[in-house]
């Protein structure tokens, strides 16, 4: 099993790869994960998503004509390189970590709202959720 293949399966199984790129949605999704990296959203008045939306609205332009497709691809690849390096700095094997994450996201069902996957949190759906286990992912 290859981590990138499994992560791509999440996209293709849901038809996400056929949707048009949306700079705002992509940026907000990444900002939401950065907010998650910094701590427990329960200690803030806003959810991580609300915080990410506020940052986007305050600092970024929705117009994505400023950069070419290749520049966008390069930036996204660079973000991936930094993230993989940071996973290693924390003592984990990125391939194993991504396989665990792919098992988790592929076990979920839900719907997409404004470019964001909203997990089905019904009791029935949650019974089938897999929780990523990183104990065997250390370098």
For residue 122, tell me if it sits in a domain: yes
- pTM attached to this predicted model: 0.84
Residue 102 lies in a domain: yes
Within-domain flag for 36: no
pLDDT tens digit string along 94-121? Answer: 999 999 999 999 898 888 776 667 888 8
What Å distances lie between residue 2 and 24, 97, 121, CA to CA?
29, 11, 28
Q: Where are the beta strands (DSSP E) in 1-139?
A: 110-113, 116-119
Give CA–CA dist 136/139, Å, rounded. 9
**58-104, pLDDT tens digit by residue?**
999 888 778 999 999 999 999 999 999 999 999 999 999 999 999 99
- Residue 27: inside a domain: no
Is 106 part of a structural domain of the chain? yes
Instruction: Tally the domains of the chain.
Output: 1
What's the domain range around 71?
Answer: 67-139
Specify if 113 maps to a domain: yes
């Amino acid at each position: 099993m290859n981590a990138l293949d499994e992560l791509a399966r999440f996209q293709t199984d849901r038809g996400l790869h056929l949707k048009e790129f949306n700079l705002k949605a992509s940026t907000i999704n990444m900002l939401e994960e950065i907010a998650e990296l910094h701590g427990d959203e329960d200690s803030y008045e806003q959810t991580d998503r609300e915080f990410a939306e506020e940052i986007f609205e305050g600092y970024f332009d929705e117009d994505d004509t400023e950069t070419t497709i290749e520049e966008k691809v390069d930036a996204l690849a660079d973000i991936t390189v930094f993230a993989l390096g940071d996973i290693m700095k924390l003592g984990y094997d990125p391939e194993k970590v991504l396989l665990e994450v792919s098992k988790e996201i592929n076990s979920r069902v839900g719907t997409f709202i404004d470019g964001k996957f909203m997990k089905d949190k019904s009791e029935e759906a949650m019974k089938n959720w897999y929780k990523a286990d990183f104990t065997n992912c250390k370098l």
